[in-house]
A and B are shown apart, each in its own frame.
Chain A
Amino acid sequence: MGKTLMKGTEAIAEAAIQAGCRYFYGYPITPQNEIPEYMSKRLFEVGGVYVQAESEVAASNMILGGGTTGERVMTSSSSPGISLMSEAISYIAGQEVPVVVVNVVRAGPGLGGILPSQSDYNQATCGIGHGDFNMIVLAPGSLQEAVDMMQKSFDLAQKYRIPVMLLCDGVIGQIMEAVEIPPGHGKNLSEPEKWACGYMKERGGKRTIIRSLFLDPEELEAHNRKLEAKWHEIEKNETSCEKYLTDDAEVVISAFGTVGRIARTAVDDLRAEGYRVGLIRPLVISPFPYDDFESLIPGCRHILDVEMNWGQMLKDVNRGVRYRLPVSFYGRSGGMCPGVSEIKEECRRIFAKLSGEGGDQ
């Protein structure tokens, strides 16, 4: 297909179609409205289904019902809408239904604002609804990554029968840049999924019940143990992290999403000035790449965590470096983005302090 100049939301929508998604249920909310708009046109062209739900509550329950067929289904929303979806996502996790949710995060709390933010890190990674469960959360740092992760999201959702969220800060949704959307691989559904609903006839009368209700506590504990074992498997196999110039770095910036991209420019500039600085960026924020952070401990003297919120990832960064490295934080909130110069200034301050403590610089 080659590279095309596209808007983030539209590229994400097209990538979902290329990944084999034919069923979209959604509700308008800024800044992700182009996804349902694009889907309402394109899905019709490719023989899929688009439903404008009456609310995010309904949209998320539609993907619950749709996902039980084993087909690739998705919804998209932004922060306040995701809060409404948290009920269904808990059921979806408990009922082990594969779905993909795109969250183009805007600034909160409450109605907040419509500009970019990363203030839903906790909501996405710390259990979005009630109960003992986890969700896979991917955090793209560029439009190309978002497009590539769309395919991965559907693959992971179906591999593990788990909800997967593509957590895009508003920048990813609203920028335009050149992307390549490779023709993806859908899922061959000529054979019905063994667990899926609606195939009782094909299964010779054997039925399926997709539920999360287990009134017997021993039965529920066994069910939750199964979910937990699945999550340990995911933790083992599916973490993903980029490390940039960290080998000799004294100060390492930790950041995810768009902030990671901004921080990379700061790293390049500071390297040109002679500072030994690097970047660590989780591409998958749930499960979190703790081991990659731990690997920084021998050479690194300081971690600077930079986010578009008041430091929601800090607890994972600290846990990753086993509380053995000093970690400081710089962030902006409310729709404000940390700039390259702000990050560089913060790094220079840290290097000055380190040299006062007797570092190499």
Chain B
Amino acid sequence: MAEKIVYQRPKSWIEGVHTHYCPGCTHGIIHRMICETLDELDIRDITTGIAPVGCAALMYGYIDTDFIEAPHGRAPAVATGFKRIRPDRLIFTYQGDGDLASIGMGEIVHAANRSENITVIFVNNAIYGMTGGQMAPTTLLGQKTTTTPDGRDPQRAGYPIRVSELLASLASPCYIERVSAAKPAHLHGLKKAIRKAFRNQMENKGFSLVEVLSTCPTNWGMRPTVACDWLVNNMIPYYPLGVFKDFE
């Protein structure tokens, strides 16, 4: 009987390595979707990733492409510097909400506004994961973190920033979509968006950003399945899924 492979390690995933991510963390899923995309579009050996500061700082240990490390928040500037010199190569940044929406807000807005021909994977889990669960710009109102022990109060800490909507208000970017990694039903959309964001770059269409709603069971203080439900019930109402900009 002929063997039928239904699931296997993507070629772009380095053989034999396991991630350092906490149980139930969605980084692994998002990494896998990037690897599958690199395989399917056959672009692994012309792609360079920009590793962020945050939980994914070590992602070059899992994804088998060239990588440049960037200071916290500066990945879009590093990507700009590279891509302007090597327009025939692909480059993607992978940034968390503290990285992209707080310390790196300046860099992301201006890279989007110049419509740099780069792909940005923005992982929004509403908290600082690596540093141990502090408030992020995307932390929901009332959400408890180590620096909002009574829950985020807009009087003191402002309202959560909707990055996709904010960037979509600019005239220049090509493609901005928000997807989720919380439920199996979301994963088709996640993959499709990542693939489109890479394809846009291959077709020189300009700046593409995929915002991925993601969980942090450890710092949210929840079991992984509860965290996924919490995301659906609390994050998606405030951060609706959908396409915010598409030049096609």
**Chain A positions near chain B (C-beta within 8 angstroms):** 23, 25, 49, 51, 53-55, 57-59, 61-69, 71, 73, 87-88, 91, 95, 197-201, 205, 207-213, 215
Other CB < 8 Å A-B pairs besides A62-B81, A198-B48, A199-B66, 4 of them?
Answer: A64-B68, A64-B74, A91-B70, A200-B65
Known contacts A51-B84, A61-B70, A211-B60; is A201 also within 8 Å of B45 by CB? Answer: yes
Q: Please determine whether B48 and A197 come into contact, CB atoms closer than 8 angstroms.
A: yes
The minimal Cβ–Cβ distance linking A327 to chain B, given in whole angstroms, is: 39
Q: Please determine whether A58 and B69 come into contact, CB atoms closer than 8 angstroms.
A: no
Contacts of A25 in B (CB 8 A): 80-81
Contacts of B46 in A (CB 8 A): 198, 200-201
Would you list 17 pairs from A and B whose C-beta atoms are within 8 A, ordered by A residue?
A25-B80, A51-B80, A55-B106, A57-B74, A58-B106, A62-B80, A62-B81, A64-B81, A66-B82, A66-B85, A69-B82, A87-B71, A91-B69, A197-B82, A211-B51, A211-B67, A213-B57
The minimal Cβ–Cβ distance linking B57 to chain A, given in whole angstroms, is: 6
Question: Per-residue 0/1 for B41-76: is the Cβ within 8 Å of any A Cβ (1 yes, 0 no)?
Answer: 000111110110000011010001111111100100
Known contacts A91-B69, A198-B89, A207-B66; is A61 also within 8 Å of B77 by CB? Answer: yes
Q: Please determine whether A209 and B74 come into contact, CB atoms closer than 8 angstroms.
A: no
Known contacts A201-B45, A211-B60; is A65 also within 8 Å of B81 by CB? Answer: yes
Q: Which of B104-157 touch A at CB < 8 Å?
A: 106-107, 109-110, 114
In the complex, the 9 A-B pairs of residues with the closest C-beta atoms, listed nearest first:
A65-B81, A62-B81, A65-B78, A66-B81, A61-B77, A54-B110, A211-B69, A65-B82, A61-B74
The CA of A87 and the CA of B71, in the complex, are separated in Å by 8
* Range class of the B interface residue count: 35 or more
- Describe B's contact surface by its main secondary structure: helix
Residue from the list B51, B77, B86 in contact with A57, Cβ < 8 A: B77
Q: Please determine whether A69 and B86 come into contact, CB atoms closer than 8 angstroms.
A: yes
Interface flag for B79 (CB, 8 Å):
yes
Question: Looking across the interface, which residue of chain B has its beta carbon closest to that of A49?
Answer: B84
Contacts of A201 in B (CB 8 A): 45-46
Contacts of A88 in B (CB 8 A): 71, 74
